[in-house]
Structure formats: structure tokens, C-alpha cells
Amino acid sequence: MTYVLVKNGTLIDGIGGEPLQDAAVLLKDNQIKQVGRASEIRLPDEDVEILDAQNGYILPGLFDTHVHMMMEFSNLEKTVSTPFSYHFYQAIEHMKKTVNAGITSVRDAGFTDVGVKQAIENGLVLGPRMQVSINPLTITGGHGDSWTRSGIDTTRPTYPGMPSGLCDGPEQVRQRVREMLRAGADIIKVHATGGVMSPTDHPEFTQFSFEELSIIVEEARFRRGIKVMAHAQGAEGVKNAVRAGIHSIEHGIFLDDEAIELMLKHGTYLVPTLLAPVAVLEQGKNSNNMPAHAIQKALEVVDIHHESVTKAFKAGVKIAMGTDAGVMPHGTNLRELNLMCGIGMSPMESIVATTKVAAECLGWEDKLGTVEDGKLADLVITKVNPLTDISSLENQDNIVIVVKDGKVVKDLRVGATNLVTQ
């Protein structure tokens, strides 16, 4: 059994209370055993290794509840010419960048199979703790169907462990959910509306009927207790999804008052991904990665998106941090927090959305999301106070230490290459 004492820092525990100065956190293996002021920690009568926070700020391991680990958007030529297996090797770097940003837990919203998750769990590669949705469900011609009017289909190929998500009608929908569950899905992802990135639809277009969405929820939740997340941008699609019992709304671009009221009534989470349309516009300006249809739709929605999420936050909808990473480069996830502050959140509220609320959204609140006795030992130490400069989190050099499952997986401290035994 190994004890580690994290000391000489200010604790921002993820719960939202006042930061605790001169804080210490005692870890044993992969669990938090004690939290409090350094003078209050009762040290065991055995060796304790010291992890010096060097006057930094101690936070829980951070979450991103909407990522795509097996992709990072590129132009069409590169997409169609890249060998299939290359994406797995790229993902190793995507996952490393994610952890280096302080993100120790993610919910993958599509295209990552169980083998990638198992490789992380078994220590073959460094990556965040994962929930995977395997492949999103989509209608023919909807968001997720990458068939283009030239006849070229750029939809990612299916393979063992990655069944097709294309389905139309109640029976196909039921079968596809069962196939995703068979493939090991921790959560089911459905495209309830069109989207910005898809070539033949629009974010306001409604996809899947209420009956079909209800079947998805029934198959997932009632049979296995598994939740459903819905890409939902248009108001009618959002309302269909919420009424059907879907757990979280991803994006929520065109929220109206009725949609917000329904989300409040049902306790539905909103994962805004404010960074996604911003990133589309940035890449459209600075590279040739983005197709014209995506840039045009992002221009249409970026301001409306901001207004909708602002209205939802002010109404009290539960907001969990998510980015759509893969649309933008992995490792830039924490830009989302500054954008969340732009809708009226305080820096502390944005941090809570990235820790406690995000853990609750994933159903992991009993073991992650806050720095408390009994939780898993996921910690992040920053050298700049994020409560006075939330944008400081965007610079990975300010994320000095990352601890996942009690193990230091990143350490940028000057002059501190090893733990010191007390």
C-alpha cells in the first residue's frame, strides 16, 4: 500500500465552495483518504511520499462529456487517402493530449470502440477514463450519413466492434441499439436532428420520430440501465428527445422556451459544446479543412447557439462541460470554460460543470468529480489560479500535474522529478 500526500496548494474541490488554502490531500493507492488543511491531516505510521503542489491550485480530474477520440477533422482529400488503421495510432496522440490538458474522464460521442477503452484500462496506452457510445444512430440522409451528392460516401467504414449506425423505422432502430449494446456501448448516441458538419441536412431538421426515439430509450435504459445522449440542435428535435426520456442534449443550438421548460421538468442535462461552431469558423479561416457547407451553417448558428445556451443556463438547466473535441484539435478542450463564462457562468460554475456536474451526467458522481474522502484519486494541479484567470487553463503548460487513478501521469514541476518520501 502506497500513501501520497499532496500538499502546499490551494484546493478547489469541485463542489463550488470557497477555495481552501494550505490544503492537503492524502492518497492511498488510487483512492482519496483524507482532505483538509495540511495541519489537520492525520498521517499514517508508515512511509508517505510527498507530492509538492508548489503553491499551485489542486482540482479534481476534469471531464469532457462530448469527445470523438478516434477522429480529428481534416480535409476531404486527407480523409479519403488515410489508411483505416492509421486512425488508431493517431488516437494514441489524441488521448495523450487530452490527459495533458487535465481531462482524466471523457464520454466518447462516436467512432471509438471498446478495444480503445480496454487498451487504456489495461495500461497499454495513456488516455482518459472512458464511456463509449460506439457508433451514433442516424437516419438515411441525416447527420452522420456522410453520403454526398456526388455519390461519394465518406462515412467511416464499419468493422468488427463498430456496427453501422444507419437506421430507418422502428424495427431497424431497435436492432441498431441492440447491436451497439452487443458491441459494448456504455451509452447510446442518437442524432435527433441535423447538424453543422453533415452535407445533406440542416441543424433545424428533425430526425427520428418520437416513437423511434422512445424505442431507443426503452432498449437502452429499460433493458440494461444505459442512458441515451442525443445530438439535438433544432427545437422540435430537442423536445422529441426530452419527451422520449433521453438523458442529455448535445449542442442545443435552437432552444426555445418550451424546450427549456421540458428539460427542467425532466432533469435533462445540456452539453453545450460552445467551442464546436467557433472551431469550425476558425478552421475555415485558417486552413482548408472545413467544407463550405459546414462554414456556412456555423456562421448561421454561432450567435443563436450562444443565446440559447445563455437562456438555458439562466433558467437553471443542468449544464455539463463538453466540447465535440475532434471537430477541433484534441487537447484544446479547456477553451470551452472561457466560452461558458461568456454565457454568464462564473469561473467557479464553469469548473463545477467540468467536474461535479459532468461526473453526475456520466453517473460517476459516487467516485469522481470532487476531491472528497473515498473518491478515486484523479487530481489536476495548475500553477495559475483559474478563478481569477479561467483562460489560463487553455495553456497546457499551466496544467503542471495530472494524477489519474493515483498515478502521476504528467509532471511539469521545476526541479521536482520524483516524489519525496517523508
Residue 221's pLDDT is: 86
**pLDDT confidence of 248, banded at 50, 70, 90?**
very high
Most confident of 191-200, 232-241, 410-419: 232-241
pLDDT of residue 402: 98
pLDDT digits (tens, 9 = 90+) for 134-172: 999 999 988 988 777 776 666 777 899 999 999 999 999
Average pLDDT over residues 17-34: 97
Domains and CATH numbers, the chain: 3-61+369-411 (2.30.40.10), 62-362 (3.20.20.140)
Residue 238 pLDDT grade (very low, low, confident, very high; cuts 50, 70, 90): very high
pLDDT over 90 (residue 80): no
Segment among 19-23, 131-135, 167-171, 219-223 with least mean pLDDT: 219-223
Is 70 exceeded by the pLDDT of residue 7? yes
* Structure confidence by residue, pLDDT tens digits, 298-322: 999 999 999 999 999 999 999 999 9
- State yes or no: pLDDT of 230 exceeds 60: yes
b/e map 297-320, b = 16+ CB within 10 Å: bbebbbeebbebbbbbbeeebbbb
Q: How far apart are CA 15 and CA 17, in angstroms?
A: 6
Cβ 280 vs Cβ 196: under 8 Å: yes
d(CA 401, CA 3): 17
User: What pLDDT digit, counting tens, does each position of 259-278 carry?
Assistant: 999 999 999 999 999 999 99
> What is the predicted pLDDT for the residue at 421?
44
Give pLDDT tens digits for 355-388: 999 999 999 999 999 999 999 999 999 999 999 9
Residue 41 and residue 35: Cα distance in Å, rounded? Answer: 7
Could you tell me the CA-to-CA distances from 129 to 58, 258, 354 in Å, in that order? 19, 35, 15
Q: Which of 216-225, 338-347, 411-420 has the highest mean pLDDT?
A: 338-347
- State the Cα–Cα distance between residues 107 and 186, nearest whole angstrom: 9
Its pTM stands at 0.95
pLDDT (mean) for 241-255 = 98
CB neighbour burial string for 334-369, b if at least 16 within 10 angstroms, e if fewer: bbbbbbbbebebebbbbbbbbbbbbbbbbebeebbb
Percent of the chain whose predicted confidence (pLDDT) is above 90: 85
Q: Does the structure show a pLDDT above 80 at 422?
A: no
Split at pLDDT 50, 70, 90, the class of 416 is: low
